[in-house]
Chain A
Amino acid sequence: MKYMTEYRDAKLVHAFLEKIQKIVTKKWTLMEVCGGQTHSLVKYGILDLLPKEITIVHGPGCPVCVTPQSLINAAIEMAFLPNTILCSYGDMLRVPGSKMSLLEAKARGANIRVLYSPLEAVDIAKQNPDKQVIFFAVGFETTAPANALSVLHAQRSNLNNYSILTAHVLVPPAISAIMDDPMTKVNGFLAAGHVCTIMGNSEYYPLVEKYKIPIVITGFEPVDLIQGIYMTLLQLEQGIYKVENQYARIVKEEGNPEAKKVIETVFDISDRNWRGIGIIPMSGYAVREEFAQFDAMKKFNLIENDSENQQECIAGEILKGIKKPKDCTHFGKSCTPINPLGAPMVSTEGACAAYYNFSTI
Chain B
Amino acid sequence: MCLAIPGKIQSIELRYNNTVRMAKVSFGGVIKEASLEMLPVAQVGDYVLVHVGVAISKVNEDEAKKVFEYLKEAGEIDELYEENSNF
Contact = CB atoms under 8 A, between A and B. Distances in A.
Interface string A218-246: 00100100010000000000000000000
Contacts, number: 136
Interface in B9-53: 16, 19-20, 27-28, 35, 37-40, 47, 49, 51-53
A34 interface: yes
Contacts of B77: 11-12, 15
A16 B64 CA distance: 17
B1 A197 contact: no
Given A250-B49, A256-B56, A258-B40, A35 B1 contact: yes
A1 B56 contact: no
Interface stretch (A102-110, A139-147, A201-209, A316-324): A139-147
Contacts of A143: 1-2, 51-52
B: interface residue count bin: 35 or more
A249 to B, nearest CB: 4
Interface string A1-41: 11110110101100110110000000000000011100000
Contact of B1 (A7, A89, A149, A223): A89
Interface stretch (A48-56, A113-121, A175-183, A267-275): A113-121
A295 interface: no
Interface residues of A, number: 56
Interface in A125-184: 138-140, 142-143, 145-146, 149, 153, 156-157
B54 A117 contact: yes
27 contacts: A1-B27, A6-B87, A9-B80, A12-B71, A12-B77, A15-B77, A15-B80, A18-B76, A116-B53, A117-B53, A119-B35, A139-B2, A142-B1, A143-B1, A146-B52, A146-B54, A149-B37, A197-B49, A197-B56, A223-B67, A248-B60, A249-B66, A250-B60, A252-B60, A256-B39, A258-B39, A347-B1
Interface of A: 1-4, 6-7, 9, 11-12, 15-16, 18-19, 34-36, 62-64, 89, 91, 116-120, 138-140, 142-143, 145-146, 149, 153, 156-157, 192, 194-195, 197-198, 220, 223, 227, 248-252, 256, 258-259, 262, 347, 349
